[in-house]
Amino acid sequence: MAWHPHLWHPITQVARSDAPQRVVRAQGSLLQLEDGRELIDAISSWWVTLHGHAEPSIAEAIGRQAQQLEQVIFANFSHSPAEQLASRLSALTGLERLFFSDNGSSAVEVALKMAWQWWRNQGSERRQLIAFEGAYHGDTFGAMAVGDRSVFTEAFEDLLFDVTRLPWPATHWGDEQVEEREAAALAVLSEALQTPTAALIVEPLIQGAAGMRMVRPQFLKAVAELVQSSGALLIADEVMTGFGRTGAVFACQRAGIQPDLVALSKGLTGGFLPMAVTMASERIYAGFISESEPTATFFHGHSFTANPLGCAAALASLDLLEANPERYSGFEARHQPHLTALSNHPKVLHARCTGTVAAFELDAGETSYLNPIGKTVQRHCIEQGVYLRPLGNVVYLLPPLCTSDAQLEQCYEALRSCLDQL
Ligand code: PMP
C-alpha cells in the first residue's frame, strides 16, 4: 500500500517505514486487512483493546447511549453514566474523586497539576518531583518532563522542567542481583526525599514504552512506604497497567499500595473510545475548595469531559471485567509454558512476565528503541499472521483477554520461527 497524501501517522519515520496496511474490520483478537489477510492483534492495538475488538456488549452500550445523550458540557451539568462510573472506579481504586480527560498523557498532566497545585494551595514550598529512569508518561509537555529523556523528548529538552530521577531496578526470570539493585534504588530515593517533595510518579510494576521493564511488587511497596511516610504524594500512572493487565484489576492492588492519585486510560473503555480519568483522594479534592480564594480552583477542563458514550463503554467494560476475573488473573499462567520454552533459545535474554504482558530482549546489539531488529521481527511475524510492534530489540506480547489458547500458541510459534531465522 502507498502512503496517503493527507495523513500524518504517529511515531512513524516515513522514510524508513513500510506504508500502513488498511484494516477493514476487527473482531475478538483478529484484525482483518483489506487484502483479506487476518492478523492476531498481539499488542491490543497500543495496549487499549481489553476484552477484544468489537466486543458486542460494549458496542451495544455505546449505541444505546448515543440515542439518549451523546454529549453535554460537564460544567453546570452532570449525568448518570458519569456518576455511575465515578462510584464504581472509586470503589475499585480506593480514591474518592474522578476527574475526566481523554487520553493517557492528559490524565498524567492532570495528576501532576493536581499534586503541584494542592501543595501550592496550602502555601507549601514542596517543589521537587521525582520520577524513574526509563519512565514514559505520554507525549504532552508535563508528561514528557516526568518521562525520562529519550528520542521522544530530545527536540524539546530545553522546554522540559527538572525532575529528580531514580534508578528502576528492572528484573527478569533468574535475576540474582535484583535485591541489590532494589536496595540501591531505595537508598537514592531516601536521599532524594531529604529535599521537600511534592510527588513521585511511577508506572506501577511495568514500565511500558521503556521496554516492558518489570519490577517486583515488594520494590513498589517499599517505594510507596518511603514516599508516603515523607508526606509526599504518590502518583500511579496505570494508563497501561490498569484494568487487569498485570493480573489484578490494578497493578497497585497487586503490589498492595494505595496511591494518592491514579491516571487511567487505554483499557478504561475496553479500548473503544478515547477517554481517561485521574482518580484523586478526598484529601486532595478538599484542598481545592475555598469560598474566599478563586485561585484555589483547579482550572483545567477538556471539551469532551465525561463524554457519555465513553462512560457507557467504560461501564460495560467494567461489567465484563468483573464478570470474568479469571480472564485476567489466569493469563500469566497461560504465558508461562510458552515463554519458558522460548527463553531457552540462545537469542532470548531476560524473559519476564507480569499478568497478560510477556517480554524478552533479543540478543542483537544494544537494547534501544531504535534497534532495527524490531522491524525484522515485525515483518516476519506479520507473515505468520501475528501483529507485533517490538520496542527496538524488546519483543513483547500483550494480547486482548479473549485471545484463545490456539491464538496464543500461534503468537509464540511465529516468534519461535522468527528466532530460528535470525
Ligand atoms: N502513560 C503510560 C504508562 C503509557 O503507556 C502511555 C501510552 N503508551 C501514556 C501514559 C500516554 O497515553 P496516551 O498515548 O493515551 O496519551
Do 318 and 274 have their domain in common?
yes
Do 161 and 242 have their domain in common?
yes
Closest ligand 1 atom number to CA of residue 208: 5
233 pLDDT higher than 90:
yes
Do 150 and 30 have their domain in common?
no
Task: Kindly compute the dihedral angle of the four CA atoms of residues 41, 262, 219, 183, in this order, to the nearest 10 degrees.
Answer: 120
DSSP character string of 3-38: PPTT---TT--GGGSPPPPPEEEEEBTEEEETTS-E
**Per-residue pLDDT band at 1 (split at 50, 70, 90):** confident
* Stretch 266-286: mean pLDDT: 98
- The per-residue pLDDT for 362 is 97
Between 1 and 108, where is the model more confident?
108
Find the CATH number of the domain harbouring 174: 3.40.640.10
Would you say the CB of residue 138 lies under 6 angstroms from ligand 1?
yes
Would you say the CB of residue 208 lies under 6 angstroms from ligand 1?
yes
How big is the CA angle at 355 (ends 23 and 106), to the nearest 5 degrees? 60
Whether 9 is in a domain gets the answer: no
Grid coordinates belonging to 193: 526525599
Q: Tell me: the pLDDT tens digits for 365-386? A: 988 888 999 999 999 999 999 9
Do 335 and 259 have their domain in common?
no
111 pLDDT higher than 90:
yes
Would you say the CB of residue 316 lies under 6 angstroms from ligand 1?
no
**Per-residue pLDDT band at 106 (split at 50, 70, 90):** very high
Q: Determine the 3-state secondary structure of 175 from DSSP.
A: coil
Do 315 and 352 have their domain in common?
no
The residue among 323, 338, 356 that closes a domain is 323
Whether 249 is in a domain gets the answer: yes
Do 71 and 43 have their domain in common?
no
Burial annotation 114-125 (CB, 10 A radius, 16+ → b, else e): bbbbbbbbeeee
Closest ligand 1 atom number to CA of residue 138: 11
Whether 227 is in a domain gets the answer: yes
Q: Tell me: the pLDDT tens digits for 333-346? A: 999 999 999 999 99
Between 125 and 396, where is the model more confident?
396
**Per-residue pLDDT band at 256 (split at 50, 70, 90):** very high
Residue nearest to atom 5 of ligand 1 (CA): 240
Closest ligand 1 atom number to CA of residue 46: 8
Whether 384 is in a domain gets the answer: yes
Find the CATH number of the domain harbouring 331: 3.90.1150.10
Do 266 and 120 have their domain in common?
yes
Whether 8 is in a domain gets the answer: no
Total number of domains in the chain: 2
Q: Tell me: the pLDDT tens digits for 42-73? A: 999 999 999 999 999 999 999 999 999 999 99
Q: In whole angstroms, give the CA distance from residue 377 to residue 133.
A: 27
Whether 330 is in a domain gets the answer: yes
Would you say the CB of residue 265 lies under 6 angstroms from ligand 1?
yes
Residue nearest to atom 13 of ligand 1 (CA): 104
* Stretch 176-195: mean pLDDT: 98
Do 314 and 341 have their domain in common?
no
- The per-residue pLDDT for 194 is 98
The residue among 323, 338, 355 that closes a domain is 323
Would you say the CB of residue 103 lies under 6 angstroms from ligand 1?
yes
Would you say the CB of residue 267 lies under 6 angstroms from ligand 1?
no
Would you say the CB of residue 269 lies under 6 angstroms from ligand 1?
no
Whether 407 is in a domain gets the answer: yes
- Give the domain extent around 95: 60-323
Do 317 and 217 have their domain in common?
yes
The residue among 297, 323, 349 that closes a domain is 323
Closest ligand 1 atom number to CA of residue 108: 10
Burial annotation 323-359 (CB, 10 A radius, 16+ → b, else e): eeeebbeebbebbeebbeebbebebbbbbbbbbbbbb
Do 276 and 396 have their domain in common?
no
Mean model confidence pLDDT for the chain: 97
* Torsion 61-42-107-321 (CA) sign: positive
Q: In whole angstroms, give the CA distance from residue 157 to residue 66.
A: 42
Residues paired with 278 in a beta bridge: 99, 263
Do 384 and 402 have their domain in common?
yes
Do 47 and 100 have their domain in common?
no
> Which of 239, 250, 269, 304 to mutate for ligand 1's pocket (most ligand atoms within 8 Å of CB)?
239
How big is the CA angle at 111 (ends 101 and 118), to the nearest 5 degrees? 125
HSE, CB side, 13 Å, CA atoms: give it for residue 405: 5
Whether 292 is in a domain gets the answer: yes
DSSP character string of 136-166: ---SSHHHHHHSPPSTTTGGGGGGSPP-EEE
Q: What distances in angstroms separate CA 26 from CA 52, 128, 269, 320, 329, one per listed residue?
A: 9, 45, 16, 19, 25
Would you say the CB of residue 104 lies under 6 angstroms from ligand 1?
yes
Please list, in sequence order, all residues whose beta carbon lies within 8 angstroms of the beta carbon of residue 8, skipping any fewer than 6 positions away: none
269 pLDDT higher than 90:
yes
Q: In whole angstroms, give the CA distance from residue 98 to residue 282.
A: 10
Residues paired with 262 in a beta bridge: 236, 279
